[in-house]
Structure 1
Amino acid sequence: MIVRIMGEGQWRVDDSHFVELNKLDDELLAEMESGDKDGFRRTLCALLDAVRHCGSPMPDDSLEPSELILPSPEATLDEVRDMLSDDGLIPG
């Protein structure tokens, strides 16, 4: 799957990593619902770091469509809330 981190670029992430990513996404959703801004920031950074770590960066000139778009590390709680679906940032 191709994952875009807004403002940074794209990573190709093997489907086998989505259990870990979904766990972080669930934590992020819970922190947003409780209004835990510190936890939100910490978990958002952990989620993005996990994508960077387990994914392979794609060339900047690649024009492949992103199947998943994640917010930038600087995104606010409200900006991320606007991106959410019922499943969080990551479907499933």
Structure 2
Amino acid sequence: MIVRIMGEGQVELDDSRLTELDELDDELLAELQRGDEAGFRRTLTALLDAVRRLGTPLPDDSLEPSGLILPSPDAGLEEVREMLGADGLIPG
């Protein structure tokens, strides 16, 4: 799966790795629902770090269709809340 981190670029991530990200996604969703800004910031950073660590960056000039789009590291709580809806960032 191709994952886009807004403002950074794309990463190729094996679909089998998505299960490793589910826990962080669940935490992020709970923090958004509670309005926990500090927890949200910590978990978003951990989620993006995990995607970077588990994936392989695509060249900057590559533009592949993204199966998953993640917010930028500096995205605000409300911005991410709108992206999430009720489903979380990681498809289940």
Normalising to structure 2: TM-score of the pair?
0.96
Unaligned runs of at least 5 residues, structure 2: none
Instruction: Calculate the aligned-residue CA RMSD, in Å.
Output: 0.8
Unaligned runs of at least 5 residues, structure 1: none
CA distance in 2, matches of 1:86, 1:10: 24
Residue 80 of structure 2 corresponds to residue 72 of structure 1? no
Instruction: Give the corresponding residue for 1:51.
Output: 51
Aligned counterparts, 1:27-46, within 5 A: 27-46=27-46
Normalising to structure 1: TM-score of the pair?
0.96
CA distance in 1, matches of 2:22, 2:67: 15
| Residue-by-residue CA offset, 1:11-35 (whole Å, 9 max, x unaligned) | 0001111111111000000011111
What's the % identity of the aligned pairs?
73
SS, match of residue 3 in structure 1: strand
Instruction: Give the corresponding residue for 1:63.
Output: 63
Moved over 3 A (4+): none
CA distance in 1, matches of 2:9, 2:22: 20
| Residue-by-residue CA offset, 1:2-51 (whole Å, 9 max, x unaligned) | 00000000000011111111110000000111111100000000000000
